[in-house]
Structure 1
């Protein structure tokens, strides 16, 4: 490897002139050529991590560019050039860009709106004006790989984000992509599409994808990303469900602008960010979306959303959120995290680019506005989590579950969600007699744990632990634990109940009364599977 001449890695922060460039755009043929270039360059997530090494990769995850920049500047690989330009905000030469993107070249990249060049000479600088990076994640349909464009972030520009900033793929986007059930769908809606990543995921298992956003700028990026991926998406501008009035879908996904921000924080200097701020009071935006989305679901259709909800003093948050759920639909709410008001304010102040070391007075004024708003309205905490709404496909009573699951989960969670929905649908028409006739098997990820005091032979605690799904832990009684151990598909649930009744010398009806409800719950939670 040879050391590449160039600006010092300790140079001043990149210019803010790169922010706010129009979304890139090009026809399908031009984008196909760019896609071929990106494939040829091996500009993949794995290649980037290998090029810069583990230390620099870890630093990038902490939003620190310098270690990766120093490593990439010593590399001749095309992926190193693209990493420097499009992810790290480093100027490259036209000759370097021509080499990394031979079909597109520096001229083509400029026509697409990806870079600005300083001249026509091979050593003249080319500076990226958008972020373009490889994306790879495993969801319920397998591993997805694309290149996704968005606005350059603070890592590359050194500047506070603009109000119309189009966010790239963050942690929330990944979470929604991985928790979504990826069963085949005829029509899917991506509400609040942003750069379009959820629409890309949906295109792999949907006949038609509609994507909406209030931001024309975001739709421009979504159009570019769909074209670069070679997929068709029906893009519509408008707020919330307005662009699809009167239409129904088999799947709705949304990572809506759910951040709870008081107006006084904006007055103190916090920027309004389109990608996160819905302009509504408290958690009204999530409430209204959850309440209304069922009207846009076809029979059997499912909506999966991310959201925040407030915890108010004197009221169980479960009761409050349950009041949002449509009465004619199934619903499942999973709270994954709770932050206190101070933690929540600090999170979104940082996200908005406000830091005490830059503007202590402004930071504390916005911080105080947040705390005062929450205090005035009796907000003691803010929950983060998933919401699922499903319109029943048949005439039956809807089910609902509102719960907190705070432990780690193994992603992708989408297949587990799909299994839960399928099992609930199957069990909805299954009475106890039919359940007793079923053969069920213990899920292969389930382990049984016994906790004993030293020297004891009998466990004080017996529990079943789920390795996949939501990582649940249950503590069944001895009878239910024995039944789970016998669930290998050879005997029906009723036959297992009869054998236990004989072994324990108790009435069969008593065994069935304890075992059948437990089997239903264990099937729904994924500890048992239908044979």
Structure 2
């Protein structure tokens, strides 16, 4: 059985995905708004890391960009390819870890909604959980993005990344700035805890990641530009 989600913007079709593929949610929509705020995307080379359903890659293509996308999941790759065809947009989607399939290339923009949910399990997740579980501190993939992104960006290139306040916004900003990028938070939203965080509230509170009585998760979009 396939699943669908509402479009990221008015006038586009619903997003289709195979079971286990991450569908657009609050973080996707927040990152989509940040992407739409970027100027001069027409003709730009854009890479989306961890494309999932491909919704953001299709959005970038609709804005006139030349888009490549990657994901470690074959189901995600197939879903993203299908959504590009359904939306009549050209997106090159390849299977691989982070930017592995794009090794040796650089881009005007890198977009990513990486896994960032802290997990009591330290071992690598399997199945659908790969789309959100990211180790005890939630930074297993975020740290790798911070490490890889500078080499992927052309002069004046931009990284747009969304993640939760639970995994350390200041740490991400510091890592990107240490790598020579000018980093800042350009969007922020507070959303009710979803099912995954809801099931982990006792553990998250025991780790000091969520205070007593907190009912909302902070989402941020970080923009890091090569100066």
Query: How would you bin the TM-score normalised by the shorter chain?
Result: 0.7 to 0.9
Q: Deviations over 1:4-62 (max 9, x none)?
A: xxxxxxxxxxxxxxxxxxxxxxxxxxxxxxxxxxxxxxxxxxxxxxxxxxxxxxxxxxx
SS of match in other structure, 2:115: coil
Matching of residues 67-466 of structure 1 within 5 Å: 129-132=1-4, 135=7, 137=9, 143-151=10-18, 165-180=20-35, 181-183=38-40, 184-263=42-121, 273-279=129-135, 281-310=137-166, 318=170, 320-327=171-178, 328-334=180-186, 336=188, 347-348=193-194, 350-351=195-196, 367-372=201-206, 374-375=207-208, 379=209, 383-392=218-227
Kindly indicate whether the alpha-carbon contact (under 8 Å) linking 1:187 and 1:206 is maintained by their aligned counterparts in 2. no
CA distance in 2, matches of 1:309, 1:134: 25
Unaligned runs of 5+ in 1: 1-128, 138-142, 153-164, 355-362, 393-531
Kindly indicate whether the alpha-carbon contact (under 8 Å) linking 1:185 and 1:251 is maintained by their aligned counterparts in 2. no
Matching of residues 497-512 of structure 1 within 5 Å: none
Shift in CA distance, 208/257, structure 1 to aligned 2, threshold 3 Å: same
Kindly indicate whether the alpha-carbon contact (under 8 Å) linking 1:286 and 1:309 is maintained by their aligned counterparts in 2. no
Structure number having the greater strand percentage:
2
Kindly indicate whether the alpha-carbon contact (under 8 Å) linking 1:151 and 1:167 is maintained by their aligned counterparts in 2. no
Kindly indicate whether the alpha-carbon contact (under 8 Å) linking 1:259 and 1:308 is maintained by their aligned counterparts in 2. yes
Kindly indicate whether the alpha-carbon contact (under 8 Å) linking 1:147 and 1:228 is maintained by their aligned counterparts in 2. no
Shift in CA distance, 370/280, structure 1 to aligned 2, threshold 3 Å: closer
Shift in CA distance, 279/236, structure 1 to aligned 2, threshold 3 Å: farther
With a CA cutoff of 8 Å and minimum separation of 6, indicate the structure with the bigger relative contact order.
Answer: 2
SS of match in other structure, 1:389: strand
Q: Deviations over 1:251-276 (max 9, x none)?
A: 1111111111121799xxxx861221
Kindly indicate whether the alpha-carbon contact (under 8 Å) linking 1:303 and 1:389 is maintained by their aligned counterparts in 2. yes
Moved over 6 A (4+): none
Structure number having the greater helix percentage:
1
Cα drift, residue 280 of structure 1:
6.7
Shift in CA distance, 226/311, structure 1 to aligned 2, threshold 3 Å: closer
Compute the TM-score of the two structures, normalised by the length of structure 1. Answer: 0.37
SS of match in other structure, 1:193: coil
SS of match in other structure, 1:274: helix
Q: Which has the larger radius of gyration?
A: 1
Shift in CA distance, 325/333, structure 1 to aligned 2, threshold 3 Å: same
Shift in CA distance, 383/286, structure 1 to aligned 2, threshold 3 Å: farther
CA distance in 2, matches of 1:136, 1:205: 13
SS of match in other structure, 1:135: coil
Kindly indicate whether the alpha-carbon contact (under 8 Å) linking 1:311 and 1:383 is maintained by their aligned counterparts in 2. no
CA distance in 1, matches of 2:159, 2:50: 13
Q: Deviations over 1:467-523 (max 9, x none)?
A: xxxxxxxxxxxxxxxxxxxxxxxxxxxxxxxxxxxxxxxxxxxxxxxxxxxxxxxxx
Shift in CA distance, 273/334, structure 1 to aligned 2, threshold 3 Å: same
The CA RMSD measured in Å over matched residues stands at 3.4
Compute the TM-score of the two structures, normalised by the length of structure 2. Answer: 0.79
CA distance in 2, matches of 1:238, 1:230: 24
Shift in CA distance, 225/385, structure 1 to aligned 2, threshold 3 Å: same
Unaligned runs of 5+ in 2: 212-216
Cα drift, residue 132 of structure 1:
4.3
Cα drift, residue 244 of structure 1:
2.0
CA distance in 2, matches of 1:171, 1:386: 12
CA distance in 1, matches of 2:141, 2:224: 16
Q: Deviations over 1:123-166 (max 9, x none)?
A: xxxxxx223466361xxxxx5412421246xxxxxxxxxxxx11
Q: Give the number of equivalent residue pairs.
A: 218
